[in-house]
Amino acid sequence: MHTAPRRPVTNWISRHLTLLVLIALVAAVLLGQFAPATAVKMQFLGKDFITIITWFIPFIIFLTIVSGISGMSDLKKVGRIGVKALVYFEVVTTLSLTIGILLAYLVKPGRIDKRGLPTGALPTISKFSWADFFAHNLTLQVLILAIIVGICLSLNKHREKVLPYVHLATRWVFTALKYVMFLAPLGAFGGMAYTIGKYGIRTLKPLAMLMGTVYGTMIIFIFVVLGLIMHYFKFNIWTYLKDIREEILIVLGTSSSEAAQPSLMAKLERMGCSQPVVGLVVPTGYSFNLDGTSIYLSMSVIFLAQLYNVQLSFGELLSIIGILMITSKGAAGVTGSGFTVLASTLTALQKIPVEGLAFLFAVDKFMSEARAITNIIGNGVATLVIAKSENEFNPGVSTAAFPDDSPPLPV
């Protein structure tokens, strides 16, 4: 009698990874609520998981871009994709900034009782500069290097001999990443347990209005703005969110969109986006297409203006949008991410007291999840849209470095 062969444990974990991450998040919340001291000690799980994932990012960006560009005969198309991506980023980022300001004025989250608001020591404030941005942004450095190497390789007569080795290295890196992602439940557990244990749920009550407004605005942005963009290009926002649910849960637990960047890139390729588009758009988007961060920054500025009863003219609002269009680009390259960039923005504006950031300090960690989730969703949408507009989207053809059982994204 023949018995069916047992499937490896890794297959079972892969199929149930979403459920495992969800269970880990629930367990983390319970631990943080009922045993906060123990929960705070779990921080290393989240930090170490993010650290391991970030080790892969430079290699994945370099290999996918070199492979994609060197395998593309039309180098003009590569440049066109890059320009189109930057234009898209600026339009959508400006839109997200504007929506954040409009809804902040509509809901007025800053019109609250100031008594009992949490305060805390502010982080060191660093002024934004493009030199520091590029000097400390490894993603952009690797991106530029990969583009140069890819172009040089595409023009080299020995290209066909080198490409198989590049493809093989890419497959090895993604295969290793696949097994590292099995640690995602532990990473999500550590990040969420620390957050709840450190800050507690009670600290959210005084600023619930701001948090609710930020989360609500980002939901509206995702389903209305990004939903309409995807609908125009014949995509379905619900199907897309279902396909990247594992990445969303990982970001929710770790508060870092970088933790899911390599996995998102692989999944977008499996959906049908070509490797050059994924390699160019996603890494660039992590620095220039921070939709969630833009919404948070614009709403926080208006929130603080309302706290201090600072009246802003229409011209000053335009100035805020202009300043944030620049400073928000530094959110991926400045320590402290959106919070420190917000401090830099207020310093540049010179009208709203920077000391008001102490009101946001205690709940910034909770709102970082909303920022990171919106950022990763927005970058995926940008990649799908640009791939579709460049005829680089083939849902029936998977170019991912390792196979997956999930079906391609319907169009």
User: What average pLDDT does the structure give for the chain?
Assistant: 76
Amino acid occupying residue 117: L
How far is residue 363's CA from residue 360's CA, in Å, rounded to a whole number? 6
pLDDT at 343: 66
Region class of 188: left (phi > 0), else alpha (psi between -120 and 50), else beta:
alpha
Inform me whether the pLDDT recorded for 184 exceeds 70.
Answer: yes
Of the spans 60-69, 146-155, 167-176, 372-381, which averages the highest pLDDT? Answer: 372-381
Tokens 């401090």 belong to residue = 343
pLDDT, tens digit (0-9, with 9 covering 90-100), for 299-357: 888 888 887 788 888 887 887 787 777 666 655 544 345 565 676 667 666 677 776 66
pLDDT at 406: 42
pLDDT band at 285 (very low <50, low <70, confident <90, very high): confident
Within 125-274, residue ranges assigned H as helices are: 130-135, 138-154, 159-180, 184-199, 208-220, 227-232, 237-243, 245-254, 261-271
pLDDT at 124: 47
pLDDT, tens digit (0-9, with 9 covering 90-100), for 233-249: 989 999 999 888 888 88
Inform me whether the pLDDT recorded for 256 exceeds 60.
Answer: yes
pLDDT at 202: 60
Global confidence as pTM: 0.69
How far is residue 282's CA from residue 264's CA, in Å, rounded to a whole number? 9
Using an 8 Å Cβ cutoff, are 67 and 167 in contact? Answer: yes
Inform me whether the pLDDT recorded for 385 exceeds 90.
Answer: yes
Inform me whether the pLDDT recorded for 45 exceeds 80.
Answer: yes
Tokens describing residue 47: 């930090």
Beta bridge partners of 273: 393
pLDDT at 123: 47
pLDDT at 336: 45
Inform me whether the pLDDT recorded for 157 exceeds 90.
Answer: no
pLDDT band at 369 (very low <50, low <70, confident <90, very high): confident
Q: Of the given ranges (119-128, 140-149, 289-298, 371-380), which has the lowest mean pLDDT?
A: 119-128
How far is residue 385's CA from residue 88's CA, in Å, rounded to a whole number? 9
Inform me whether the pLDDT recorded for 138 exceeds 90.
Answer: no
Residue bearing the bigger pLDDT, 188 or 328: 188
